Chains A and B, each alone.
Chain A
């Protein structure tokens, strides 16, 4: 009887002590966190998530060489943006020079006409100089105040005259209606060149600023075009002459023996014309 009680107690203990501890229920939660990268993935912060990041906009700009499109000068503009984790770009053609006449090998062609239409066609040279100085980065001085040499950018000249026409082109630098090429300037085969119909020549002008420039006057660069029918010119550039340096220039001109005007024919050799100054320095005068 006693054993029965023990067995019953054991059974109760099993139920009371063991059973509850094996019962249970669980609930799970799946937590999420996003660890962002250092680079945000936009144009200003582009790169792998762990970096380094770069600003794609830093790469925006003009690329490559000038090229002709629709008879104007263009250059490729790249607009960089972030794609995924790296910078890439869209390319567009950006107008660099709106050529007045046409374009050849990435530069405006400034026609000079033969056959009696030289003057009207030569107006394109004005645009040519403006464009070349604007886009080539060459700064034309706003005034001339000392003896110096100015070398202008290269630019092409083309004879678009009718067949079998030939024109002569020459350049000169002058001031106050005084030309400094004097006789040499006009010498055949010197600072002039000949273009047959359809021919193109690149030219580059380099002028010495003379000693006797007068304050308040202008220093000009002109191009002359002539053919059998006409002889006309166009002023390419006028630069004012400053007042204050004139006296110094007079002093300097005592040492000046000669001035030079150079016309370089790119690809066709360089023609240098040395001109004896028609100006007499005080020293020479004495």
Chain B
């Protein structure tokens, strides 16, 4: 094997390794075991309240604020996104996700940002080990049928 052939073989081997690495890491994106097993930097999040209760809110009126404390339990700083689902009573009664609003500071319902079904950045560079408050508030549409409604709100760290 001449020198050039050895070099080409080396190129092929490196390329193959690179592809393997790439495939390996790509497949790790969707595996819950990948990050902790192979990546030293970890992302983590915890919420101090996973069942916030807005109480009783009559149709056409606003709730009071509910605060969820979001903690970055990972090893690096992270951005935090927020998203939600429509409100539902488990049956046919629903109302839109956007009736819930969020903010990083306390304020009026009108001053907050409407929640959406797609993830939107909510907190920026939340240092690992730090926490920040997410101020939530919701309103009930006028004429909304009486019932108990639930909504899932998801906070995700991106690091």
Contacts and interface: CB of A to CB of B under 8 A. Distances in A.
Interface of A: 3-4, 7, 10-11, 14-15, 18-38, 49-50
A83 B39 CA distance: 62
Top 10 A-B residue pairs of the complex, sorted by shortest distance between their CB atoms: A49-B146, A37-B146, A22-B29, A26-B156, A33-B54, A27-B47, A25-B43, A27-B45, A25-B45, A34-B56
Contacts of A30: 50-51, 150-153
B21 A11 contact: yes
A10 B25 CA distance: 14
A38 B151 CA distance: 23
B118 to A, nearest CB: 14
B57 A34 contact: yes
B111 interface: no
A4 B26 CA distance: 23
Nearest to B139: A33
Contacts of B100: 31
Contacts of B63: 33
Chain A binding site: helix, strand, loop or mixed by DSSP?
mixed
Given A24-B78, A25-B74, A31-B100, 5 more contacts: A23-B39, A24-B158, A30-B51, A30-B150, A32-B52
B157 A29 contact: no
Contacts of B57: 33-35
Given A4-B14, A36-B56, A14 B51 contact: no
Give the interface residue-count category, chain B: 35 or more
30 contacts: A7-B14, A10-B18, A11-B21, A19-B39, A20-B159, A22-B25, A22-B26, A22-B28, A23-B35, A23-B158, A24-B43, A24-B157, A25-B73, A25-B74, A26-B45, A28-B47, A28-B154, A30-B150, A30-B151, A31-B51, A31-B54, A31-B150, A32-B51, A33-B138, A34-B149, A35-B144, A35-B147, A35-B148, A49-B145, A49-B146
Contacts of A14: 18, 21-22, 25
Contacts of B96: none
Tell which of A7, A21, A22, A25 has the most Cβ of chain B within 10 Å. Answer: A25
Contact of A3 (B11, B47, B78): B11
B57 to A, nearest CB: 5
Contacts, number: 139
A23 B152 contact: no
B156 A32 contact: no
A33 B55 contact: yes
B159 A32 contact: no
B158 A35 contact: no
Nearest to A1: B7
A35 B22 contact: no
B87 interface: yes
Contact of A24 (B87, B148, B159): B159
B120 interface: no
B44 interface: yes
B151 A31 contact: yes
Nearest to B119: A26
B140 interface: yes
A4 B11 CA distance: 8
A31 B35 CA distance: 29
Contact of A34 (B55, B156, B158): B55
A256 B152 CA distance: 93
B109 interface: no
Contact of B52 (A4, A18, A29): A29
A121 B153 CA distance: 86
Nearest to B153: A29
A3 B18 CA distance: 13
A31 B63 CA distance: 12
A14 to B, nearest CB: 6
A49 to B, nearest CB: 4
A35 B156 contact: no
Nearest to B71: A27
A130 B1 CA distance: 135
A23 B54 CA distance: 32
Interface string B27-48: 0110000010001011111110
B114 interface: no
